[in-house]
Amino acid sequence: MPTLLPTLDPAGLPMAEQIAAFYAHAIEGGRLGLGERLPPIREVAKACDVRRATVQEGYRRLAVQGLVAGEVGRGTVVIATATNGEPAPQRRLLSAYAEAAVRRSQEMTRAPALADGTAPVANFAELSPDDAQFPVDEWREAMDAVLQQRGGELLGYGHHTGGLLELRQLLAERMHDIDPGLGAEQLLVTAGAQQALDLVLRTLCGPGDTVVVTSPSYHNMHGLLRAHGVNVVSVAFGPDGLDLAHLQRVLARPSVKLCYLMPTFHNPTGRTLDLEQRHQLAAIVQQSSVVVLEDEYQYSLRCRGEALPSLRSLDARGLTVTVATVSKELFPALRIGWVAGSPELLQPMAAVKGFMDLESSPLLQAALVEFVRRGHFDRHLDGLRAELRRRHDALQRAAAKHLPDGCRVTDPDGGFVAWLELPLPGHGERLAEACAKRGVRVVPGRAFDLDGAASRGVRLSLTRADVDAIERGVRVLGECARELLRHDAVAQPFL
């Protein structure tokens, strides 16, 4: 059977849309059947004289329609047929939660791929700890020790839905700088921070409730909110901090059940609410019964300045819960996170969690306790903070040296991310595309907007870029930004 390849009209619809429409018609018309593969992306790109990223976008649109899916070792495969724009029968079997989760995961904006044949210069896209820094030998030592001492106990059901007591005590001690009143009875161990976020939503929110988020905000939280069927209201979190006046008005709405905030080393901007804003925020929430969900997944990665009190510690109502994790400090495979909150809120969460997974792994929890007690955690964290300080300093030096007027970069006191902002909406996406052609990957700000609106900025992650790569990468960012701004000045001289 000959390969089906589209013929594109350069003057017509966007190329990706034409590609998606061509293969959708082929599937609906029976020219591509269930289980058959679409042509490889490289082949379509070459035949149509477009970038691979354009074909990838076309295939992604087909996946959103439920017509195709990527399969390891097989490529892109037809999984359903559809007629008259109706959802495929297989997709109609899904729950609303699953349908929303699938749609959101397929619609998410990602960092543009490098252009064909382009050598990588700097990777500012991945927010994943550098595997070269993982304390493999020390973790093996801790795991061996607990298996030898308590293997029989830890390999069975531990019946500790809330988490091992010794771990909860240890975590409470480690959070003392930001939450001095926290005790072990106020902690619930989860399988990472992502499960903790989902658990809070499952326990406290239902379809039709309203949740407040910042703009921009953590993109995977957007997916959770869509899957849970809640309404979402955004409040700006910009250079001057959180728009507290707007937040106060929003919290007065009867439908608002939850307010999701990332007060320290905010993802994607790296910004932190200062002490004054934290106290102002605490005063505002006192006037409502809205639960505040505080995401402190990077709180321990401070490399300068003093620790700031958690929002939970400032909430006299007892209606703030804090989510945190060790996955970013150590390694992602260690799926240990936790929720800190009042026993009245944690008790129903523990019941919900029990139905989700019975309990988080007792073996991993015990190994983490041993890892900490042997001093490995603190030594690893000290080294990580020192390296982050070097990388943030290198970013600021490179930004001052290479970025043109009109660009600004946040200067976080820790954490993995910073935010580069240009003057106009849409500049972030255009900058990301231009840099990918020159070997630098960044995530466009559109990814962190609930509705995918055009953004001024891009997120810069420092997890995979050392000091030298930061210098090289920011030089490219500066060159691309300068060309973009020069082009706009010529095209629109009166702006």
Max CA separation in the chain (angstroms): 75
The CATH number assigned to the domain with range 136-374 reads 3.40.640.10
The β-bridge partners of 75 are 71
Q: Over the stretch 123-176, which tens digit does the pLDDT of each residue have?
A: 999 998 888 889 999 999 999 999 999 999 999 887 788 999 999 999 999 999
Q: What is the DSSP letter of 68?
A: E
List every span in the chain annotated with CATH 3.40.640.10: 136-374
Which residues are within 8 A (CB) of 388 and not within 5 positions of it... i.e. 6 or more apart?
A: 301, 303, 414, 415, 416, 462
The β-bridge partners of 260 are 293
Which residues are within 8 A (CB) of 207 and not within 5 positions of it... i.e. 6 or more apart?
A: 96, 228, 229, 230
Q: Over the stretch 218-256, which tens digit does the pLDDT of each residue have?
A: 999 998 998 899 999 999 999 999 999 999 999 999 999
Q: Are 55 and 45 in contact (CB under 8 A)?
A: yes
The pTM of the full predicted model, rounded to 2 decimals, is: 0.82
List every span in the chain annotated with CATH 1.10.10.10: 15-93
Which residues are within 8 A (CB) of 35 and not within 5 positions of it... i.e. 6 or more apart?
A: 77, 78
CA distance 225 to 323: 16
Q: Are 378 and 349 in contact (CB under 8 A)?
A: no
Question: What is the pLDDT, as a whole number, of residue 286?
Answer: 95
CA distance 310 to 293: 11
List every span in the chain annotated with CATH 3.90.1150.10: 122-132+379-491
Give the CATH fold of the 122-132+379-491 domain. Aspartate Aminotransferase, domain 1 (3.90.1150)
CATH match for 15-93 among 1.25.60.10, 1.10.10.10, 3.40.225.10, 3.30.420.40: 1.10.10.10
Q: Are 335 and 163 in contact (CB under 8 A)?
A: no
CA distance 50 to 16: 9
Instruction: Spell out the per-residue pLDDT of the chain, length 495, in tens.
Output: 568 899 888 767 778 888 998 998 888 878 888 888 999 998 999 999 888 888 988 898 888 778 888 765 668 988 876 554 455 555 556 787 877 777 677 667 788 888 778 899 999 999 988 888 899 999 999 999 999 999 999 998 877 889 999 999 999 999 999 999 999 999 999 999 999 999 999 999 998 899 999 999 999 999 899 889 999 999 999 999 999 999 999 999 999 999 999 999 999 999 999 999 999 999 999 999 999 999 999 999 999 999 999 999 999 999 999 999 998 889 989 999 999 999 999 999 999 999 999 899 999 999 999 999 999 999 999 999 999 999 999 999 999 999 999 999 999 999 999 999 999 999 999 999 999 999 999 999 999 998 888 899 999 999 999 999 999 999 999 999 999 999 887 765 444
CA distance 457 to 426: 8
CA distance 437 to 113: 9
Q: Are 316 and 163 in contact (CB under 8 A)?
A: no
Q: Over the stretch 436-485, which tens digit does the pLDDT of each residue have?
A: 999 999 999 999 998 888 899 999 999 999 999 999 999 999 999 999 99
Q: How far is CA 209 from CA 204, 232, 425, in A?
A: 10, 8, 30
